Amino acid sequence: MKNNLLMHIDNPKDLRNLSKEQLPQVAKELRDFIIDIVATKEGHLGASLGVVELTIALHYVFDTPNDLLIWDVGHQAYGHKILTDRRSVFHTNRQLGGISGFPKRSESEYDTFGTGHSSTSISAALGMAIASKINGDFDKHHIAVIGDASIASGMAFEGLNHAGVTDANLLIILNDNAMGIDPSVGALKNYFTNVKTGKKVRKNNIIEALNFNYSGPIEGHNIEAVIEELEKLKQVKGVKMTAKINQQGMEIPLEIIQMSDGKQMTVINFQGKEMKQGVFDGETLWGHNFMTMKAEKSDEETTENMKLDMNDFPDSFIDYKEKGYAIELLGKETIDGAETFKIKLTKEPITIDGKKEENITFYFFDTENFVPIAVQSEIKSGPGKGMISEATMSDYDEVDGLYFPFSMTQGVKGQPGAPISISKIELNPTVDEKEFAFPEEIVEKE
């Protein structure tokens, strides 16, 4: 007979001492515990049973109460209460002198927001996330759990709309059980149903349109899948692309690495030799000279211009207002037979030959799927000065819940571009910091 694990869990620290393989047993015991208590007393049974695995996963992955967890409405928080120092008094739930049926700040440090009404969690979590950022606490996570009925309310959309133009550390979990007080209805309900049943839907949805990375759906009762997804979504720290560029009929292997702190490089394998181009370690921009094969630093002006883009990972549009950027919709334009929205992005001025010049890029977003299929900007210096550089993107596919183009071309507008085919994209790659550092040349004495 198995030992009862739940009876030895007073708080999330105890939970985190268990192995992942033991968590399904905890889920069964937690579900049975809730049923036994609520069967003899009134309470919200179905809502709490529906999030047992999610509740365990959240407290297992995140460092609660340091990381802040907000339950929308709060009627689904019975498992949360039991796992946070209230198992021994849970029988007093909703009783005179007992614990509250909803999260209550004065009752526990794990109840970060007093709830009881729907659709407030996103705004509450966002406010906390912004406060953490102001206080310099960039590692604190803020998680809002909201249902498919609550997210259709106006206050939830106000929170989404605000959050979409910030860089706050905010994770929103949509618990879709197709049920509120009554069965859910409306266009959002239909969309979520289509996603769950595997029907073809537009790759970009309303959540992504509000500047959120969307991942899902996940089977909520599969605790291993939930934990894996939560750990993945904690933070995207970098991207590594394995690709080949076609130059005059010859395919050259590439590795393109971009990190969230601005570090980046392209590694080229040509005729058995490894060369690096566009390497930036946060302070120094450098690359190998193709003729001498020696590493050379870029001039100060080019390096300073590169530093302006350090905060643009993974996308220039994210938090554009806070960066001081401006966006203007110029209308529609056809690119390679596809109708697009043409968007003008104006960033901080760059310096060319000692003078400040406009830094403007034009993006062309497909009107059907809302993904960029072309990017154009004026070449400001060098042999191509005055020409328009153009990159095109196609063959979008999903990588861990995010969409990336797997085919690209780079070149000058109106001229054939160099095709780049991407075979693999890896999120959060492990890259030695030394790889970005400028190699100090060893000069041999004659």
What would the pLDDT profile of 177-193 be if each residue is shown by its tens digit?
A: 655 555 666 666 666 66
Segment 36-55, tens digit of pLDDT: 998 887 777 778 888 999 99
Q: How confident is the model at residue 153 (pLDDT cuts 50, 70, 90)?
A: confident
> With bands split at pLDDT 50, 70 and 90, how would you rate the model's confidence at 111?
very high
The secondary structure element, H or E, covering residue 384 is: none
In single-letter form, the type of residue at position 405 comes to P
- Cα–Cα nearest to 330, from 317, 344, 340: 344
Residue 302 has pLDDT above 50, yes or no: yes
What is the pLDDT averaged over residues 365-381? 87
E strands of 81-213, at which residues? 142-147, 170-175
Intra-chain end-to-end CA distance of the chain, in Å:
79
Asked if pLDDT for residue 437 goes beyond 60, the answer is yes
DSSP readout, 257-312? EEETTS-EEEEEEETTEEEEEEEE-SS-EEEE-TTT--EEEPPHHHHHHHHTTTT-
DSSP state of 98: S
pLDDT score at 427: 86
**What is this structure's pTM?**
0.53
Q: Which pLDDT value is given to residue 444?
A: 40
Please write the tens of the pLDDT for every residue from 244-297. 888 777 788 999 999 888 899 999 987 778 899 999 999 999 999 988 889 999
Confidence of residue 417 (pLDDT cuts 50, 70, 90): confident
pLDDT band per the 50, 70, 90 thresholds, residue 212:
low
Q: How far apart are CA 323 and CA 277, in angstroms?
A: 27
Query: Average per-residue pLDDT in the chain?
Result: 85
Average pLDDT over residues 92-102: 92
Q: Is the pLDDT of residue 198 over 60?
A: no
pLDDT: which is higher, 217 or 16: 16
Alpha carbon separation from 340 to 337, 345, 369 (Å, rounded) = 9, 15, 10
419 pLDDT band, cuts 50/70/90, is very high
**Residue 17: which pLDDT band, with cuts at 50, 70 and 90?**
very high
pLDDT value of position 154: 85
